[in-house]
Amino acid sequence: MSRNSLAPALKVLVDLVDEAFDHRSWHGTTLRGSLRAVRENDAAWRPGPARHNIWEVAVHAAYWKYAVWRRLTGTKRGRFPRQGSNWFPCPDASGRRWREDLALLDDMHAQLRETVAQLDPAALERRVGAAFTTAALVRGIAAHDLYHAGQVQLLKRLRGK
């Protein structure tokens, strides 16, 4: 769906989701931009024992895009392509697996973005669960992307990249 054909409130939310993930924005690096050119061995590097690495951050972000999509659509749990939830252990550093996990992140983003674009503007203030409105959930996933974009940038700097 074209961003220009959206209701104003939905256009703002779609723009926010896009600018946090992979569209040009004034604030600097997006989540997907922070992952550009990261190689599998750098993605698997840990800054210390029991600390998350870039690979885990990427799959974590994909999972939460899925979780927000699930909440927005009312889909039951169990359709995320990886077993578990929230944080997933990094596999051995395989270039193919890293590309697959980046594709998973891209796919989860596209699925979420399409769902946000198709929301009924009247539903934006509807509660999803007990605590948050639909609009707050969408704003939150965009903020989540930006938080982890900064985390990836910091991990790359610590790695010397």
Say what percent of the chain tops pLDDT 70. Answer: 95
Residue with the larger pLDDT of the pair 26 and 124 = 124
Task: Compute the chain's Rg from CA coordinates.
Answer: 16
Q: What is the pLDDT of residue 4?
A: 61
Using pLDDT thresholds of 50, 70 and 90, give the confidence band for residue 98: very high
> Which three-class secondary structure state does DSSP give residue 127?
strand
Determine the angle formed by the axes of helices 134-159 and 8-21, rounding to 10 degrees: 20
Using pLDDT thresholds of 50, 70 and 90, give the confidence band for residue 93: low
Amino acid at 12: V
pLDDT reading at 3 higher than 70:
no
Average pLDDT of the chain to the nearest whole number:
91
Q: What is the pLDDT of residue 83?
A: 85
* Sign of CA pseudo-dihedral 149, 155, 158, 161: negative
Q: Are 134 and 119 in contact (CB under 8 A)?
A: yes
pLDDT in tens, 102-150: 999 999 999 999 999 999 999 999 998 778 999 999 999 999 999 999 9
**22 alpha-carbon distance from chain centroid:** 10
pLDDT reading at 154 higher than 80:
yes
Q: What is the pLDDT of residue 96?
A: 82
In eight-state DSSP terms, residue 126 is S
Tokens 């985390």 found at:
151
pLDDT in tens, 56-86: 999 999 999 999 999 999 988 877 888 888 9
Question: What average pLDDT does this structure show over 46-64?
Answer: 95
Residue 126 tokens read as 């509807």
Of 136, 134, 139, the closest CA to residue 121 belongs to: 134
Domains recognised in the chain with CATH numbers: 3-159 (1.20.120.450)
